[in-house]
Amino acid sequence: MTLDEIFGLYNYWVVICLMMTGFYIVIARKNLIKTVIGLNVFQTSVVLLYITMGKVTGGTAPIIPPEIAAQHGEHHEHSTAHSTAHSTAHMTADAPHLDHATEHGHEAVTPLTQHADHVHQTASAMADHSTELIYSNPLPSVLMLTAIVVGIATTALALALIVRISEDYGTIEEDEILLIDQRDSSH
């Protein structure tokens, strides 16, 4: 095993260590709150595992920088304007070109082709921009956002059950609860 491999995999190993710590807390500790804490630790490690897989070296967060996003939005409007302007010349977007189009009717073809060239230029400029930027994978982030929120729901439910158990049994230690239950069933 080379040093390169160790550096490539060490984060998985750390995450597995964390997971196993959570697992240990769940199976070795008899206190119910401690068990829920162990589940939480386990869940956070699973989230970390997924997020780790989505990372790309030299990448950045999957948020498009404002200037590129603005170009895109503009590009979108332009292309709709371009496609519909042939049939209905009274579009709202990009006033000067389209005023021209309403004035000259069929002659509007020339400015529209210019317009199309312009769109093409922005598109290629944008492509240049996006080749410079590498984004990390957004999909694990989305899945883990859902997992975290579902996790808090299950934690809340488990804690409510623990409160209920402590009201009834007066203890939240697993072995004491079992003892009480055995005594009850023998009576």
Partner 1 sequence: MFVSIFILTLLVVTAITIARIGDLWAAVMFTGIFSFLGACWMLILDAPDVAFTEAAVGAGVSTFLMLGTLALAGKTEKPTTSSSVVPLFVVAVTGAALIYGTLDMPHFGDPNSPVQTRIEPSFMEKSQSDMHGLPNVVTALLASYRGYDTLGETAVIFTAGIAVILILRRSNDGFKSNDVFNSQSNSRKGSQ
Select from 132, 144, 151, 18 the least CA-distant residue to 64: 132
Q: Rounded distance, CA 175 to CA 25, Å?
A: 16
Q: What is the closest distance, in whole angstroms, from the C-beta atom of residue 131 to partner 1 in the complex? A: 12
Q: Rounded distance, CA 7 to CA 1, Å?
A: 11
Nearer to partner 1 (CB atom), residue 116 or residue 134: 134
Q: What is the closest distance, in whole angstroms, from the C-beta atom of residue 91 to partner 1 in the complex? A: 17
Nearer to partner 1 (CB atom), residue 47 or residue 81: 47
DSSP 165: H
Q: What is the closest distance, in whole angstroms, from the C-beta atom of residue 61 to partner 1 in the complex? A: 5
Number of Cβ within 10 Å of residue 112's Cβ equals 19
Nearer to partner 1 (CB atom), residue 76 or residue 120: 76
Residues with Cβ within 8 Å of 120's Cβ and at least 6 positions away in sequence, in order, are none
- Residues 100, 115 contacting (CB under 8 angstroms): no
Nearer to partner 1 (CB atom), residue 116 or residue 156: 156
Q: What is the closest distance, in whole angstroms, from the C-beta atom of residue 14 to partner 1 in the complex? A: 5
Residues with Cβ within 8 Å of 68's Cβ and at least 6 positions away in sequence, in order, are 126, 129, 130, 133
Nearer to partner 1 (CB atom), residue 21 or residue 118: 21
